[in-house]
Chains A and B, each alone.
Chain A
Amino acid sequence: MTPPQRRRRYPIKQEPPPEQLQQSAPGAEGGTGQEGTKGKEGERKNPERLYVLTGATPGGERASLDLVTLIVACAEPPPAAPPEQSALLRLCKAPLSVAELSAYLNLPFSVVTVLLTELLTAELVQARDPLIRQSLADRSLLEAVMHGLQKL
């Protein structure tokens, strides 16, 4: 029996990052207050900007939070906090990934990143960035993961 046949592909040139696409998107003028923040450093941490992003580009990039960014609460929920913020703060008393928060809260990933951006701005939570492939200069991380898997 002969299996079906595929043809190999090769790395293609990177598309411009979604941010740049967003800035040139014709529909982007619908948002308010985004002109002043456009293109500046740290704009992804600006909650107002994020709301604009979330509303304007469903499926686009929303925040610098990864699925496996670890979130840790560093304060008790303020008495006036909305219920979803309080729930988030209670959940991440111990470190928890954004993906787990999304799962436990039963909220889409994009919505959780918006809520978390508010909490990060208010300094109620800390974010611990993931180790991503591009930043792997040494082999020690890979070796640590292999060692951990061998223990399973």
Chain B
Amino acid sequence: MDFKSSDTITGPRTEDRLPHSTQAAVKIVIVGGFGVGKTTMVGSVSEIRPLTTEETMTQAGIGVDDNYGSDSKTATTVAMDFGRISITDQLVLYLFGTPGQERFWFLWSGLFEGALGAVVLIDTRRLEVSFDVIGRLEERGVPFVIAVNSFPDAPRYPIEDLRSALDLAPEIPIVECDARRRASSRDTLMTLMRFLHSLELTKASV
């Protein structure tokens, strides 16, 4: 195992340390295709420099353990960028920019199941790459909103055309955003939170 010697490990900067009073964390997942701006969005709202957690995936079948560590298996490293926002001195929010392909999601147990909800970041130049992601979230019952990352040269569709093309239920919010801008990314997260809040209200009134 490639372990850095403890001398070379750089921990969090002093200003990036959480207070001792921090009791719990929540997470939101930002999911979308390659190059759609997940890392940009994480970086624009995070209070810490975005970090990367990696996981190794092998192509060997589940349950096979006799060739563990042998060279015959192909290992793929899957990286996930994440950031952090302190909510109160007791609560902290983590944002994970997650690859769109579902086969990667199993690498991090509870990635979606435990999340408050998800932001599906889409690029109208490649709308179809988001189809599978949206379908998987629907199947898993993960609440989500759609954020259209406004690339300058991307085709602009009316929101209702997008809703129809993505076959989304009328209550699911669709917002335009500029993932590079902190205020815009924050507003996108607020849209998700308001949506989750409305779901809770609906649940409570049933």
Contacts and interface: CB of A to CB of B under 8 A. Distances in A.
A150 B186 CA distance: 8
Contacts of B124: 3
Contacts of A86: 6
Contact of B26 (A57, A61, A130): A130
Contact of B168 (A8, A27, A61, A108): A8
B171 to A, nearest CB: 13
Interface string A41-82: 000000000000001111111100011111010000000000
A124 interface: no
A91 B11 contact: yes
A149 B53 contact: no
Contacts of A143: 197
Contacts of B84: 97, 100
B138 A144 contact: no
Nearest to B87: A148
B109 interface: yes
Contact of B27 (A8, A68, A87): A68
Contact of B190 (A27, A94, A95, A146): A146
Given A58-B57, A90-B6, A104-B11, A9 B139 contact: yes
A23 to B, nearest CB: 11
Interface residues of A, number: 76
A36 interface: no
Interface string A1-16: 1111111111110000
Nearest to B18: A95
A28 interface: yes
B5 A67 contact: no
B64 A59 contact: no
Interface of B: 1-6, 9-12, 17-20, 22-27, 45, 51-58, 60-66, 68, 82, 84-88, 91-94, 96, 106-111, 113-117, 124, 127-128, 131, 134-136, 138-141, 143, 155, 157, 161-162, 164-169, 182-183, 186, 189-190, 193-194, 196-197, 200-201, 204
21 contacts: A1-B157, A4-B131, A9-B136, A12-B139, A27-B61, A57-B63, A59-B106, A59-B107, A67-B82, A67-B111, A91-B11, A96-B17, A102-B53, A106-B9, A109-B55, A110-B55, A128-B22, A134-B114, A144-B88, A145-B26, A147-B87
